[in-house]
Amino acid sequence: MTLQCVILAGGLGTRLRPATETVPKPLVRVLGRPFADWQLSLLAAQGIERVLYCVGYRGDMLLAHVGDGSRFGLDVSWSAEGERLLGTAGALRLALDAGLLEDAFLVLYGDSYLPASARASEEAWQRSGAPALMTVVRNEDRWDASNCIYRDGRVVLYDKSRPLDRRDEMRWIDYGRSVLTRAVVDELVSPGAVVDLADLQHNLSVSGRLAGLEVRERFYEAGSTTGLRELEAFLLESGVAFGPLPHRQDAL
């Protein structure tokens, strides 16, 4: 694995209140451990070496817990939005302007647990020749509302508004892992602007610049109570819960 991995973890976590009134979403407990421990351990196992956290709400708590990432076998750096949250794409622009983004990078959310191979996403992007790639899974509205049309290695349309005239074709959903470049962020996100990553990816899809990789494994998330229950069940059933994870002496 060669690409930097950017984790977008600046949100308020409103769907998990009251738990997130005192901690940021990545520190919500999953089987007794902060979710960030599970996510970072998975990324290290997938070959990720360098992580950039983009943080906002209670980001200081996450920084205190993860630190430089060395106990996970990772090199972790940090970009903080402060009190004015810029949205997920705005946070990428802030990191770009601070010189923290590499030329190309994987990007995922701070509540995503994604068993499918990260290396496969990187390799598919390299083969595609496109400036960006979205990993997708055939969903048929099973785990959430399907939001994209995938065809022949391309995301033909990504649109979370689900337009009526294309809804029947929207059988896939964003898996939660993408590849982007500095050039795309520089082009589509103005400095200081509040922009959502979904809007950036929509623009890339309608302009024919968003490659796609279809995976078979479903995604898991720790951003809702239902998601937490499903994630815990997966970790137990798959045996991941019984494997080694880094320990922290001063548990939160």
Q: Judge whether residue 248 has pLDDT over 70.
A: no
> In which band, very low, low, confident or very high, does the pLDDT at 243 lie, cut at 50, 70 and 90?
confident
How sure is the predictor about 134, in pLDDT bands with cuts at 50, 70 and 90? Answer: very high
Sorting pLDDT into bands at 50, 70 and 90, what band is 246? Answer: low
What is the C-alpha radius of gyration for the chain, rounded to an integer number of angstroms? 17
- Cis (ω within 30 of 0) for the bond into 26? no
- Summarize pLDDT for 186-240 with one digit per residue, the tens: 999 999 999 999 999 999 999 999 999 999 999 999 989 999 999 999 999 998 8
Instruction: Specify the DSSP element, H or E, that contains 149.
Output: strand 148-151
The more confidently predicted of residues 248 and 18 is 18
The pLDDT of residue 245 is above 70: no
For 45-125, list the strands marked E by DSSP.
50-55, 75-80, 104-109, 112-113
What pLDDT is stored for residue 251 in this prediction?
34
Q: What is the pLDDT of residue 161?
A: 87
Instruction: Read off φ and ψ for residue 106, nearest 5 degrees.
Output: -75, 150
**Per-residue pLDDT tens over the stretch 137-180:** 999 999 889 999 999 999 999 999 898 889 989 999 999 999 99
* Domain regions of the chain by residue span: 4-242
Distance CA 43, CA 49 (A): 8
Name 243's Cβ contacts closer than 8 Å, sequence gap at least 6.
Answer: none
- In 70-97, which positions are buried (b, 16+ CB within 10 angstroms) versus exposed (e)? eebebebebbbbeeeebbbbbbbbbbbe
CA gap 75, 52 in Å, rounded: 8
Q: Which phi and psi (to 5°) does residue 67 adopt?
A: 60, -135
Tokens representing 84 are 């004015």
User: Class assignment of domain 4-242?
Assistant: alpha beta
Residue 250 has pLDDT above 70, yes or no: no
Phi, psi of 149 (to 5 degrees): -110, 125
Q: What is the per-residue pLDDT across 14-54, written as a single tens digit (0 to 9) for each?
A: 787 777 788 889 999 999 999 999 999 999 999 999 999 99
Tens-place pLDDT, residues 44-73: 999 999 999 999 888 899 999 999 999 999
Predicted pLDDT at 87: 95
Q: Are 55 and 11 in contact (CB under 8 A)?
A: no
Identify the band that residue 252 occupies on the pLDDT scale cut at 50, 70 and 90.
very low
